[in-house]
Structure 1
Amino acid sequence: MGKRPGLRIKMNKLINSIKYTLAICLFCSINAMSQQLVVEGDIAGLEDEQVIFVYYNGTDDQADTVRVDAGKFIWTKKVDEAQRIGMLFSGAFVHFFAEEGKILIKGTADSLNSLKISGSTVQDEADDYKKSMLDIEQQQDYISKHYSTASKLEQDSFRTKRSILMRQQDEREKQYVASHPNSILSLYIVADWANDGDYYGAKAMYEQLAKSIQETAQGKRIGQRLVILSRSFLGAKIADFTQNYLNGVPVNFSDFKGKYLLIDFWASWCGPCRAENPNVLKAYRRYKTKNFTIIGVSLDDNKENWQKAILEDKMPWLQVSDLKGFKNEIASYYGIMSIPTTFLLDPEGKIIAKNLRGESLHQKLAELLD
């Protein structure tokens, strides 16, 4: 019987089609793998049963928990771009930069802040940057370690030195961003400034970043943060808003126009806030008859705890809240990310100072009202 060329041609087409399909699948598989982040940890002496990874998913911060077995763990996650990841242990919170591929984390449980992290070019850059800032960090650590046991004269000297070191650190960070506009590390330096509420500094550095960096997910997030910060930079006029007093009666901020007003963002569960309240009370008692008042905006979500703290700390000024915690409408509008936070307004409702605490608050009020 003769051969059937037609059938052979069809079979060849079928085989070629299968090969083509397999090639596409293989390419897709390799491409998918290239977008995969794999973090392998080996930390001697780590007794934690789990490690928590905190990352940005392009919309919000997320947390994944992985099990630890004899100090070893593996975490995998699909990533679209390099980003800073937080790793939470029972005794420390460690940041590292990650991108697609395999990241190896090695070290010991008694030195969690000195882990060896390899496999990320951005982390390598961050390690080099940290070394360049080491002299400032060591001097700051020395001051922190010896400040509480120093004499008053030495403490004055330490405060002066700390201010100088902070200015030096700021200048180096600015210089780094200016000279590395295409760096993800630069983006996160800007992010730290923005999260600290420094609108002018963060905005100036953000504008120096390459467009491609600004358009990353984290870059867009910082851009949005700057829009929020623009509402509360020095000289900005406060927007009118309304929230309820303890008894449910609405309080309008426009009612305070014509007075110097301290807006104090706090909460009953905030230790530093509660520690500062006696100082704020002292300022209130001294200047309440001199065209000055205070309004507290609580980031509580429990009315009883809020009311109890007001009574315990003997705060006589107006207090408002919508009992939504950090989702408080006023706090969200102004991008409040940590407390205590304060705004001092002039009689026209413009912000003239922020985050005045301790003696700084009394000095500013004396300058304005004495």
Structure 2
Amino acid sequence: MRTFIVILVCLFVGVSCQNKPQYTIDGKISGNADGMKVLLNKLGDTGSTFVDSTFIKDGKFVFEGVVDEPAYYSIMIDRTPQGEVSSEKYMTNSQFYLENSPISFSGNIDSLPSYFWSKKPRKQAQITGSGTEDLYQKYLAIGEKQGSELSRLNDEYLQKYHIPSMDGIFNKKEGIEISRKMEVLRKQLAEIKWNFVKENIQTVVGYDLAKQYFQDMYVRITPEQIDELEVLVDQAWPNTTKASEFKAMAEKGKRVAVGTKYSDIELVNPDGKKVKLSEYVPEGKYVMLEFWASWCGPCRGEIPHLREVYKEYKDKGFEIVSISIDRKDQDWKKAMKEENMVWTQLNDPGEFEGPVTQVYNIMGVPTCILLDKEGHIFKTDMRGAQLDAVLEEIYD
């Protein structure tokens, strides 16, 4: 009898082990790909983490393992030519949600998306078997029409406004017309995302999309919307790390959300004196905070347009406060003189470790924030004709 029980226990343990959920990725790659290395990486808020690797044989590869919950991963195939040093520029890069299920991955080695941008048309890998990935693809499909049109308009904007502006030619009328069409589409996409997030916050996809609101320099939702999301996350993910992490991101995001009062910080004026930003933000005027640096090519490329804008609207109550993040005082002042920047100039010598980064979440330059007459954040991320369109609506 005892022997019989032991046998039953062993059988039960064996069956349990066999039934433990795991993922199996069966990859099929067409084209001349045999011998190429395949990497599986987990993607996170701060970068990617290596998980596993294998090689393509007879056009196939396999990954097996276990994940605690569905999460975002990437499969990269190293196409480095023989004799060359392996580099990301030769890598394909396919991203998807991985979960514990049988997953199929297929594509052509010559057309899979590249790690870096490529002029050559690319085709996404066919990935099936992950319900979480299916949900994410459903979200992308909802806004596909608007996204495609936005991409087309962006190309048109580059040709008709941005490229000529680099030579000092500002096709303002055409640029504003295109910018307004793009803004309509952006608002439609924002509404699609907001509704999807609220309806799917209990899923990893919905939660990840909610986090995206705070992973960019610009928080494009209001403090009231942030509060609503906090409640939804607490209800969907009670007493979890996800809930606590989201709360921390949300509290930080409220400082730079549209509708929030600007934060006062200490800066340095051209005379070397420490001053407060509030000394240069008068009530009753729209004020643009322009964050830049002397070493930043795109920043300096924007300045000719800012000169035109300031000249046109300064007498109507528009102010610009340029805030440099140059560490070296002489570099900042040299660039100011070269660019003939006749509006208010301040400096945060801490570069990306100073109050500009800590308070305003500045991750790169150029960056701009437009304050309304009461000092609330009104618009963000405005360039070229997009800024022209906003100022025309305000003053003309």
Cα 1:127/1:20, change in 2 over 3 Å = same
Asked if 2 retains the 8 angstrom alpha-carbon contact of 1:213 and 1:219, the reply is yes
SS of 1:81 mapped into structure 2? coil
Deviation at 1:101, TM superposition (A): 5.6
Q: Which residue of 2 aligns with 1:3?
A: none
Q: Which residue of 2 aligns with 1:295?
A: 322
Residues 119-165 of structure 1, C-alpha deviations (whole Å, 9 max, x = no match): 42201222233334333334334444556668999977755554443
Aligned-partner Cα distance in 2 for 1:76–1:301? 49
Residues 54-90 of structure 1, C-alpha deviations (whole Å, 9 max, x = no match): 523xxx5232357674587777887443233356763
Counterpart residue type for residue 219 of structure 2: G
Q: Say whether residues 1:110 and 2:111 are aligned partners.
A: yes
Asked if 1 retains the 8 angstrom alpha-carbon contact of 2:93 and 2:112, the reply is no
Asked if 2 retains the 8 angstrom alpha-carbon contact of 1:284 and 1:294, the reply is no
Residues 216-254 of structure 1, C-alpha deviations (whole Å, 9 max, x = no match): 545543432221222233442222221345786433213
Aligned pairs (5 A) from 1:1-370: 43-44=29-30, 53=41, 55-56=43-44, 61-65=46-50, 69=55, 79-85=67-73, 90=89, 94-100=94-100, 103-108=103-108, 109-112=110-113, 113-144=123-154, 159=179, 161-194=181-214, 195=216, 196-200=218-222, 201=225, 203-205=227-229, 207-209=231-233, 211-213=235-237, 217-244=241-268, 249-258=273-282, 260=285, 261-268=287-294, 270=296, 272-286=298-312, 292-298=319-325, 310=336, 313-316=339-342, 317-325=344-352, 327-337=353-363, 339-345=365-371, 349-362=375-388
Deviation at 1:115, TM superposition (A): 0.9
Cα 1:353/1:224, change in 2 over 3 Å = same
Cα 1:174/1:265, change in 2 over 3 Å = same
Deviation at 1:339, TM superposition (A): 4.2
Residues 257-286 of structure 1, C-alpha deviations (whole Å, 9 max, x = no match): 436442222345655433322222333455
Asked if 2 retains the 8 angstrom alpha-carbon contact of 1:191 and 1:202, the reply is no
SS of 1:231 mapped into structure 2? helix
Cα 1:51/1:171, change in 2 over 3 Å = same
Counterpart residue type for residue 323 of structure 2: G
Unaligned runs of 5+ in 2: 77-87, 114-122, 162-170
Asked if 1 retains the 8 angstrom alpha-carbon contact of 2:265 and 2:355, the reply is no
Asked if 1 retains the 8 angstrom alpha-carbon contact of 2:27 and 2:104, the reply is yes
Aligned-partner Cα distance in 2 for 1:315–1:250? 20
Q: TM-score, normalised by structure 2?
A: 0.65
Cα 1:344/1:48, change in 2 over 3 Å = farther
Deviation at 1:336, TM superposition (A): 3.5
Aligned-partner Cα distance in 2 for 1:131–1:61? 27
Larger Rg: 1
Deviates more, 1:126-135 or 1:39-48: 39-48
Deviates more, 1:65-74 or 1:189-198: 65-74
Aligned-partner Cα distance in 2 for 1:270–1:253? 22
Aligned-partner Cα distance in 1 for 2:388–2:175? 20
CA RMSD, 1 decimal: 4.8
Give percent identity, aligned residues only.
Answer: 22
Asked if 1 retains the 8 angstrom alpha-carbon contact of 2:175 and 2:385, the reply is no
Aligned-partner Cα distance in 1 for 2:23–2:242? 17
Aligned-partner Cα distance in 2 for 1:267–1:77? 46
Unaligned runs of 5+ in 1: 1-11
Counterpart residue type for residue 132 of structure 2: V
Aligned-partner Cα distance in 2 for 1:94–1:41? 12
